[in-house]
Structure 1
Amino acid sequence: MIERLFCAHQELNDEAINAVIQKQYEFNSPEDSLGRIAEIVVKLASHQKTINPQVKKPWLSVFVADHGIAVEGVSDFSQEMTAKWSESICKGEAAISGLASFSKLEVDVVDVGLIGNLSSNDSLSVSKIGQGTQNFSKKPAMSQEEMLRAIEVGMQTAEKAKTAGSDLFIAGELGVANTTSAIAMVSVLSGKTPIELMEIGRTRVMRSERDKAELIEKAIDLHKEKLTSPLRILQHLGGFETAALCGAYIRAAQLGMTIIVDGFMSTVAVWLADLVSRNDQLMHCKSVDMMMDLGQFSVPETMFCICGTCPRLVEWCFFSHKSAVNIHGLVLEILAVDPMLTFDMKLGQGTGAVMVLPLLEQACAVHNHLAQFVMGEGILGGSDEPKDNCPFY
């Protein structure tokens, strides 16, 4: 587990980047006229090691789990809705189902920790860690073992996608009260109090939101002596589905798959995963206990992961949209990434990520169409295997 958790052990292909940029210069169109379409193609080319990138086989998994903090009344929805919404996805009756159908995607619903069990369904994968997390205002959300098992579920899901021949990975999430969990983790990671986060971009905060902020503040104070690393923050304040997302994102990058990140919850998971995979204090980790207790959770100055040559995890990611959750913009800013769209959505389930999938496909179509008139087809050499000089495989 330790060896697979750190380091993307994949370099972006500079040869592909240079070749694509050169080809774009030769297009019969005004310079920079393609804007971010050109950026999309360059990033995909660097992932796929090819002058003519394509999105051939995208993959969609939705991690679902319940949160113990829901009993504190922090959500507008009852906890039973997590299972009902999950069931609707399995039956093809949810918003994500329509989007997935449009893009010819199969939906893989992964039960990491629902309270109760869903009916058997071809779309359902059961990897339950527990019957929901604990109420983190009273005790740690997860044990260390539970968190690591949830991370492993995410890693196995990414491996399943790669084995199926996928070149692009999308992960959604679903869990009543998981926004409260995300706010708690962002508060610790950013150094801002929960009420400061809720006030971002707003002229007033409702009484119920102030009560929620006070609850989160007390929970953070309860665990403050343990919140010393990204993994400890995840263990004490996170969710099973968040841990699974972290593992899935790290493993997807290790396997050379492009990632499309969904909304607020998914972006927080990427932040945690990015910190874990870049932290050089963990380079000489000899045990799980050492892994858990080492590591600063501020953003490292280095732009590379801990082996010193691989790029940040976020370089493998497209961030689909800025959601209606006011705090999401702050997290995107901290990660120094630009979302592709602003739809004011906050549904989760991977909906925003799937919505931008056609944009990536169309960007490739434009580039590859124009490219055939300037230089002809060309594919760079390369392998999906990890590079030899990376110590973490």
Structure 2
Amino acid sequence: MHLLQKTLEAIKPIDRAVMAAAQREIDYCLKPPGSLGKLEDIARQIAGITGKVHNSIGKKAIVVMMADNGVYSEGVAMYPQDITRIGADFVTSGRMGVNFLANYAKADIIAVDIGIQVDVDLPKVLNRKIRYGTANFLKEPAMTREEAIRAVEVGIEVTNAAIDQGYDLIGTGEIGIGNTTASSAVLYAFTGAPIDRVVGRGAGLTDEAFARKKAVVQEAVRLHRPDPDDALDVLSKVGSLDIAGMAGTYLACAARRVPVLTDGLISNVAALVAMRLKPETVEYMIPSHISFEPGAKLLKEITGLEPMIDMDMRLGEGTGCALVFSIVEAALRMIEEMGTFAVIGKTRDEIGDHIMAYRGKFPR
């Protein structure tokens, strides 16, 4: 708990003064004001995160948390639970979906066993196992509160180590059969929203299994009554170890002032957990894509994170992060490489005054 508390205390709002200075540089670029849309937003946000107007990315990584879920025994997943262990092998040998996208983005994968149901003896997998999968939360709490805290702290520790190694842009990902049920339960516990807005088919459930999944989520939340104002209570009762670990990644990035990308449904549920632990954490997050899962749209409304791309994806693993890394890097090149209004003899102040007047008449 000490590491979690220390991390929460270190998280401060991003620097608005530096953001304003970055906006001044963006506006001085030779283009109509606001014409590069979200690229401008990203450049300004990262300036506020790092405290620097001029930024570049040195090393990128996707932290992939891997864990099993006891609720799998309720028939809520299409694939056998062994897939999680196999996924650990594949993601470290370059054969998972995220790998070809990460390779394209020149990003590394940091694979973490935070709760796979069996021992995993693979040299490229970090063994940070809290327990051998969660309990079946339809019968008992998924884990203890202490285990939830430890799982969050694993995410903090792994991410801090990555930042210490020079990674300055982080993405979040997960592998775990049954984790869409856990993420749906967490989202339902936080919101109490209509179940059809929360629960999707995940990895392609039959109609019967889909109905079962919705019933399991509702019954588990009714049984355990997690406190929506206590993120750790929600995590421990109906959550998963990979969600907890990703929440820790978000918190660590915010505490260390490093931008972090959210991925799909499960990653964004973890983002919501981090925000409930420390609201300012959201300022350090850059959303990548909108998942095909219905809960993703609800999360967008709750968190205010507006995804950049809509590709009908629902794989997880950090695939959306890998796609959007290049967009983030492109945004940062704007200030560094674009020509400016100096070419026509205009100063920053002259352009700034003109744009202020323009925005007063035509607010974005």
TM-score by length of 2: 0.87
- Secondary structure at the residue paired with 1:6? helix
User: Could you tell me how far apart the structure 2 residues matched to 1:199 and 1:351 are?
Assistant: 19
**Residue 51 to residue 196, structure 1, CA distance change in 2 (3 Å):** closer
Count of aligned positions: 338
**Residue 161 to residue 95, structure 1, CA distance change in 2 (3 Å):** same
Q: Does the 8 Å contact 2:64/2:318 carry over to 1? A: yes
Q: Does the 8 Å contact 1:8/1:250 carry over to 2? A: no
Q: Matches of residues 89-108 of structure 1 in structure 2 within 5 Å?
A: 89-108=91-110
Range that drifts further, 221-230 or 137-146: 221-230
Deviation at 1:338, TM superposition (A): 0.5
Q: Matches of residues 10-49 of structure 1 in structure 2 within 5 Å?
A: 10-49=12-51
User: Could you tell me how far apart the structure 2 residues matched to 1:27 and 1:132 are?
Assistant: 52
RMSD over equivalenced CA pairs, Å: 2.1
Of 68, 74, 77, the residue aligned with 1:75 is 77
Q: Does the 8 Å contact 1:195/1:210 carry over to 2? A: no
Deviation at 1:16, TM superposition (A): 2.0
- Secondary structure at the residue paired with 1:111? strand
2:68 match? 66
1:342 match? 310
1:245 match? 246
* 1:369 and 2:334 are equivalent in the alignment: no
User: Could you tell me how far apart the structure 2 residues matched to 1:196 and 1:102 are?
Assistant: 34
Identify, as 1 or 2, the structure richer in helix.
2
- Secondary structure at the residue paired with 2:300? helix
**Residue 139 to residue 170, structure 1, CA distance change in 2 (3 Å):** same
| Offset from partner CA, 1:214-247 (integer Å, 9 cap, x none) | 1221111110166662110000111111111111
| Offset from partner CA, 1:151-205 (integer Å, 9 cap, x none) | 11101011101110121121211110100011111111112243453489xxxx9
1:388 match? none
Range that drifts further, 92-101 or 255-264: 92-101
1:112 match? 114
**Residue 237 to residue 22, structure 1, CA distance change in 2 (3 Å):** same
1:351 match? 319
| Offset from partner CA, 1:334-362 (integer Å, 9 cap, x none) | 11121011111111111111110000111
* 1:333 and 2:295 are equivalent in the alignment: no
User: Could you tell me how far apart the structure 2 residues matched to 1:172 and 1:372 are?
Assistant: 38
User: Could you tell me how far apart the structure 2 residues matched to 1:229 and 1:25 are?
Assistant: 42
- Report the AA paired with residue 224 of structure 2: H
**Residue 138 to residue 227, structure 1, CA distance change in 2 (3 Å):** farther
User: Could you tell me how far apart the structure 1 residues matched to 2:130 and 2:301 are?
Assistant: 33
Q: Matches of residues 1-393 of structure 1 in structure 2 within 5 Å?
A: 1=2, 2-121=4-123, 123-195=124-196, 197-198=198-199, 206-224=207-225, 229-278=230-279, 312-370=280-338, 374=342
- Secondary structure at the residue paired with 2:286? strand
User: Could you tell me how far apart the structure 1 residues matched to 2:18 and 2:226 are?
Assistant: 46
Question: Identity rate of aligned residues, in percent?
Answer: 27
User: Could you tell me how far apart the structure 1 residues matched to 2:199 and 2:147 are?
Assistant: 30
User: Could you tell me how far apart the structure 1 residues matched to 2:130 and 2:11 are?
Assistant: 28
Deviation at 1:57, TM superposition (A): 1.7
- Report the AA paired with residue 220 of structure 2: A
Deviation at 1:10, TM superposition (A): 3.1
TM-score by length of 1: 0.81
User: Could you tell me how far apart the structure 2 residues matched to 1:372 and 1:162 are?
Assistant: 33
Deviation at 1:19, TM superposition (A): 1.6
Structure 1: 5+ residue stretches without partners? 279-311, 377-393
- Secondary structure at the residue paired with 1:232? helix
**Residue 163 to residue 140, structure 1, CA distance change in 2 (3 Å):** same
Q: Does the 8 Å contact 2:186/2:235 carry over to 1? A: yes
Deviation at 1:59, TM superposition (A): 2.2
**Residue 196 to residue 60, structure 1, CA distance change in 2 (3 Å):** closer
Q: Does the 8 Å contact 1:227/1:236 carry over to 2? A: no
User: Could you tell me how far apart the structure 2 residues matched to 1:151 and 1:175 are?
Assistant: 17
User: Could you tell me how far apart the structure 2 residues matched to 1:368 and 1:253 are?
Assistant: 25
Structure 2: 5+ residue stretches without partners? 348-364
User: Could you tell me how far apart the structure 2 residues matched to 1:24 and 1:274 are?
Assistant: 29
- Report the AA paired with residue 160 of structure 1: A
User: Could you tell me how far apart the structure 2 residues matched to 1:139 and 1:322 are?
Assistant: 32
User: Could you tell me how far apart the structure 2 residues matched to 1:364 and 1:319 are?
Assistant: 16
- Report the AA paired with residue 252 of structure 2: R
Deviation at 1:106, TM superposition (A): 2.2
**Residue 196 to residue 120, structure 1, CA distance change in 2 (3 Å):** closer
| Offset from partner CA, 1:100-134 (integer Å, 9 cap, x none) | 2222222111000101122322x210011111100
User: Could you tell me how far apart the structure 2 residues matched to 1:216 and 1:41 are?
Assistant: 39
